[in-house]
Chain A
């Protein structure tokens, strides 16, 4: 075929019937801007010694200048001036010589450039970054034809003169940003290329947008741009260009070079950000259509590229549908990928398919642990550490929900951690830490959870691009931060909570993928606060918002509000429904919580005896799943029920069992409640004893009440505080301590007036009278 083709019609740019832009492998070419950079490099290598500080700054500048998009001469000179005015002047002079002279001046300039092959000692040695760049440029220059050289010279002249013709045309934003730059340079003493590039990116980003007729990027520049943006999209979305701006850039790039397929992939990622299924599907398919042909030339890692990209195309399509929640479509696409992969014996691809398969199953809500286990085994067999540990993490998650013992889970996580550090899979390390946080939190060990969260947040990133940057905005960080917020809320540190949430809002703006996490967390905290304060009307609107983010949680909260508003029947029916649903989905934590609320409902109708079996069931469940926080709470409920059933000794005994974990790990609210309950039990027991013992027992109760009051005042939980003060007053009265009694009575009166709702107090009053 090829011979026929060539004899009839020869075109070097055409292979396989299609014109390829890059058949010569030209990745870069000379532009006036590149000449300026060359002039800068030339000055740096040849001129007299520059001060060390300035030299360092210039060195830092080289890479971004080489890789970044073309700047105007104004921007370029300004940037150089910031570092070293003297060099900037020299560069300008050199450009002036060329632009105001003749063509031969430019030719002379290229002739006098230090050849990287000869200069062994200088920075321009052939293997150095600078040397490579110079070689590229020289090669590209030497390839130019006569008319092209002339055109380049014309362009240079225009480039240089446009600098003078419109001096007012400079972007206003530049000086400020650039000044910022120099500040940073003066203060920072370490070499930090990453940050410098960061700045560069920030500097140049606004400039692109404002400039309409910007020239095309060379392939090198385009590749750098794409890699950078893709990395940012994955790890730190806020720093990437805005979706619309990025799309503009990509469209621009594709206009100049429709063959640059990677841009389509970035466009796919970008439209995923804004949840645009139309463009994302289109871009994805376009990318793979393009990839298939570049693969057919055998370029792609020798791995029989063509069929390979087909498989991954189907797999990516499945992933796309998965992300948009089209489970049936995703399933079909996945089956297709699996079939093709099977046909061509591509185990690696199959493995990826399998891991998507269990993810899909999980997303659909069915049990996929068997699949996951298979996946882990196979992945280990094919040495795919990423997939192995991803699978294990998924298994751990499932195991935690299903009540696997803690040591098994922690062992598994420890094993994966070893794997991560061995292969430096920093992304998975983050996830693993976040997962540990979640697990500790689920078990009710707040200190451990807090410690893990802090560990994650304070860890330096291992990725080379962002080396030394502490926080990315990946899901792991969002999860850890949310846990942190909730943990602080439990301790009543609402100032800290709002700080954390503010940070979350900045890191994960509301339109981004992980924003739902903190939204839910924020709402939950607000809801709990409103409920604690007894402001049920404030809690009610939160329920709708929570339900929008998480249906189960929403229902649960709705039941809580209804119960508080004494709409018992409605609350009960919701709880029943919820319990059934949670039993189906095996959401143990929620089941226990629902049981507790149901028991509370029984109390309201004085059905203490009916509440008992429910609570015992809940306790068994909580113990089985090692949910310590919930177990303690259940014990509190149990103790209260027993107290009401008239067996305070039993109640106190049970309570002592829970007291320790609550005081160690529990929320402030729980601590207060536990102590209040203990005091009430002690009071009830004191009633049965002889006089001397009674005094001692009542003294104990007073002490407990004092502690409880301290906790409640921390949370500003007025209703409970009022009850505590009332009890305190009564006790002091019984003990004959009049001044204390009067003080407590006064506090009670103040709070009571403030609350204006004597109903609850009356209930307690009657209860205490019984005692």
Chain B
């Protein structure tokens, strides 16, 4: 961490670097990198006048190409890529060369998009290709082997390779690009999309630069290693980037991923204060609001976003969530469809649409939506889970096992999948597996706090009273220690069972304690009282022998894991 601090110590230097890279990217039409760098630069203190970097000097070549470049850039900005490329073809400076190749690439992409709309046949739609890619690759690879490519051109080469599905080569080229020009965020971002696991990440040799920490943090978030990501971002904030909206949004997303809703909400609210016209990541924000059922906030967000830009994927998702929360599922599905129309590879929308169809009981459409989500990203655990739920609703517990298992594989520590698996196993009368699942769900940290209750009930069904009592005790402790009031908490059921259990085992003190607690709940009051009466009766009869019985029973019959029942007194509901 010390190295990090020293590296970030010179914020002024970093700011200078950012300013220079902004102008470089701007000249080349790399708008997204410009945006990222500018946001970061904005979060740092402004430089005094004498510290501002001097305007870039011109080389001989640059001077030669100046006019052509100016003309081409203006065409480029107007999206007349072919025209831009035409006027740049004779230029020899690096800048002009990049713009030349980049225009050709973009022209190909644009044509591809146009073609997709009217391809010859429906089956051909997957086949439409950017025709320019191959030529670009040939030319770039020639220059690459001659070592004539600068950082930007390397980045372009990498992009071309990635589009041609030559992923391995692409990774190498992107790494090279980051070495040649570490400050270009676009190259890092592309690399981020290509790295699939932590081993691969470790094997890359990356340049030693402050921007690398941003990359690592981003990577950790992508790989669901939230703890590490949060740590990284925290150290970045400490190093002086505390005002950066980018970091703030990333942290919020990370909290969202580990379902720390309060933290995430707080961060998003702060983010909206600082950057009220931001659309990015707002779909994540709306998810959080949805989970918390914060209708007014969600409504406000939705209306606000519509005013900003209603044709954005994020806006559509927010509106979808809004309608879904209002139980207008048809409209919600419609907006998710619209989001997909804007970007068919938008994963979240497919899954959310699946949820909406589930709500509408349109299982077949839901299945298809989930399947699409899986096609976009095979690692989308929510889609697998959704498929499982769909089949569970269709009363096919064995069939849904496969899907739940898939989801569980992707999120081994998520209790919801485990509980779902357990329920399916229970329906199939596979009690051993079901018990394992429930216990594991509890062990990994049960979000809904249902696993133990289900486990206890299962034990109860199987007449394993010791285990059942054990589970109920832990359940009660769990419920009270978490502090919040849960709607579906069945403390009374647990207490009732425990009371009976202690009574049967002749542990009258504990039984009466449970019975008294029972009386706090409406649904168990009568039984509690009845139990108390029974206890006092039995006590009267066997006043003398209680102490004799109590000794051996508590030492032999009670399970080892059992917590002393007297601990109950410390819980105040």
Contacts and interface: CB of A to CB of B under 8 A. Distances in A.
A18 B365 contact: yes
B37 interface: no
Contact of A17 (B115, B120, B357): B357
Contact of B364 (A219, A293, A336): A293
Contacts of A285: 399, 402-403
A292 B337 contact: no
Interface string A276-299: 000001000110011011011000
Interface string B113-142: 001001111111111000000000000000
A97 B119 CA distance: 25
A281 B363 CA distance: 21
Interface string A257-275: 1100000000000000000
A22 interface: yes
Interface centre among B118, B121, B331, B398 (most CB of A within 10 A): B121
Contacts of A47: none
Contact of B123 (A140, A219, A295, A313): A219
B369 interface: yes
Interface string A328-366: 010011011001100100000000000000000000000
Interface in B422-464: 428, 430
A293 B368 contact: yes
A16 interface: yes
B372 interface: yes
A8 B334 contact: yes
B330 interface: yes
Contacts of B395: 339-340, 343
A255 interface: yes
Nearest to A333: B398
B406 to A, nearest CB: 9
A218 interface: yes
B248 interface: no
A310 interface: yes
B372 A18 contact: yes
A257 B402 CA distance: 25
Nearest to B119: A148
Contact of B396 (A11, A17, A336): A336
Nearest to A253: B123
Interface residues of B, number: 41
Contact of A22 (B120, B122, B341): B122
B341 A9 contact: yes
A539 interface: no
A1 interface: yes
A255 B126 contact: yes
Given A148-B118, A217-B123, A314-B399, A292 B341 contact: no
Contacts of B125: 21, 256
Interface in A740-762: none
A1 B334 CA distance: 9
B419 interface: no
A278 to B, nearest CB: 11
Interface string B347-388: 000000100010000111101110110010000000000010
A140 B121 CA distance: 9
Interface centre among A4, A289, A306 (most CB of B within 10 A): A289
A22 B398 CA distance: 33
Given A148-B120, A336-B397, A9 B372 contact: no
Nearest to B330: A1
Given A217-B123, A293-B367, A4 B330 contact: yes
B333 interface: yes
Interface string A27-57: 0111100000000000000000000000000
B372 A216 contact: no
Nearest to A219: B123
A216 B123 contact: yes
Contacts of A332: 398, 428, 430
Given A148-B120, A286-B371, A11 B399 contact: no
A293 B370 CA distance: 12
Contact of B126 (A24, A216, A286): A216
A333 B400 CA distance: 11
B31 interface: no
A17 B334 CA distance: 7
A689 interface: no
| A interface majority secondary structure | helix
B394 interface: yes
A218 B123 contact: yes
A108 B367 CA distance: 48
| B interface majority secondary structure | helix
B126 A289 contact: no
B398 A296 contact: no
B165 to A, nearest CB: 11
Given A257-B122, A313-B399, A14 B337 contact: yes
Nearest to B124: A216
Contacts of A310: 394, 396
Contacts of A14: 337
B3 to A, nearest CB: 45
A260 B399 CA distance: 22
Contacts of B387: 289
Contacts of A165: none
A201 to B, nearest CB: 21
Given A9-B341, A17-B357, A290-B371, A314 B364 contact: no
Interface centre among B331, B399, B403 (most CB of A within 10 A): B399
Contact of B120 (A152, A295, A296, A314): A152
B364 A11 contact: no
B126 A258 contact: yes
A216 B341 CA distance: 25
Contact of B353 (A1, A17, A306): A17
B167 to A, nearest CB: 16
A352 B533 CA distance: 59
B415 to A, nearest CB: 24
Contacts of B118: 145, 147-148
Contact of B365 (A24, A290, A293): A293
Contacts of A313: 399
Nearest to A297: B364
Contacts of A257: 122-123, 126
B144 interface: no
Contact of B338 (A9, A30, A256): A9
A613 interface: no
Given A256-B123, A310-B396, A18 B402 contact: no
Contacts of A293: 364-365, 367-368
A144 to B, nearest CB: 7
Contacts of B402: 281, 285
Interface in A144-172: 144-145, 147-148, 151-152
A340 B396 contact: yes
Given A17-B365, A310-B394, A332-B428, A289 B371 contact: yes
Nearest to A216: B123
Contacts of B403: 285
A4 B371 CA distance: 25
Given A17-B333, A222-B123, 16 more contacts: A4-B334, A8-B334, A8-B338, A11-B341, A17-B369, A31-B120, A144-B120, A148-B120, A216-B126, A256-B125, A289-B371, A290-B368, A293-B367, A313-B399, A317-B399, A332-B398
6 contacts: A9-B341, A21-B123, A147-B118, A148-B119, A215-B127, A332-B428
Q: List the 3 closest A-B pairs by CB distance, nearest first.
A: A29-B121, A296-B364, A21-B122
